[in-house]
Structure 1
Amino acid sequence: MHAAAQSAVWVKEPSSDAGVIIVTSAALPKYMIDKLHLAIEHWDEVGYLVVTQSNTLMLDWLQGSGQTFETSASPSYASHLLRGVSKGSYLLDVEVGPEPSLSWLGSVRGHSLRVVKLRETMGSNNAMDNQVEGVLSMVRALVKNVLLERCVL
């Protein structure tokens, strides 16, 4: 797990009420990472994880495949990261590449996963702002679903 410990970082750690965890690759432009973070900063229902080394994180998880955080003396770092995220929470995988690289995270602890595929051309800030708004629209819908399931709305 030592090498894997550098493979992902919480931009916003989830609270105990978190119902949605945004998961992005560090390949997402910093501008968009910052805009997403700023937009969700005060949402207790949302956490934000940036994966810097997807392959390292996934290999660490596969080496301990089938072992959960509770049953393993040395759980995977991915399992460690997601241990505090409730089973009823959604992972929202925001993908920037042609192939999904983070969707496997839904299998780590059995979370429901949704994927948002961004357009590859993100040149201007205006274009990136539009894509951030698309992600936030999905986050809002998922948070609403979680709150309805919890009978809060």
Structure 2
Amino acid sequence: MFLLLKIVGILGLTFCTILLFAAIKMHKLNSKKFHRKAGLILLVSLFFVLFSQMKINQINQKQKATYTIASKSTLDGSQTFLRVLVFSHNKEDIEQIFKKLQKSEKNERTDSLFVRFNVDNGGEIGEFIANAKIAWTLKGEEQVDLKKDQEKIEFNNLSN
């Protein structure tokens, strides 16, 4: 729907440009009636383009930050293992999601967190993107082979 609004806006801007060139050719550029009509078409077209672009950007931002926990299990007593489905292929987005998961999964009974990121194919597990891990206790250091509170994210051929 927003794409349709954007297309209508672009067509309106194109129509307004054509009107302007036609008015110059017919020497009616000084007509107040023409100014009102062209101005109204221009404003409405700009509104359609800007509004639809704003809405499309909001949808894209929401989708980037969206993730689904496909499975959650406990390994080695107190190591939490998550399989997470994400829409974004961007490293920065994956890092932000991992930080959110750290906050939500950290508690006194959890020693470490291991997260495997995959592409979300409509709720199905898709292509492997990255592994991320962090240790919160000494036992967790042994589980994920990292120092305490040190996180590590291993990406699988991703761009920034």
The TM tier, using the shorter chain, reads: under 0.3
- The structure with the largest helix share of the pair is 2
By relative contact order (CA 8 Å, sep 6+), the higher-ranking structure is: 1
Q: What is the TM-score of this pair, normalised by structure 1? A: 0.28
Q: What is the TM-score of this pair, normalised by structure 2? A: 0.27
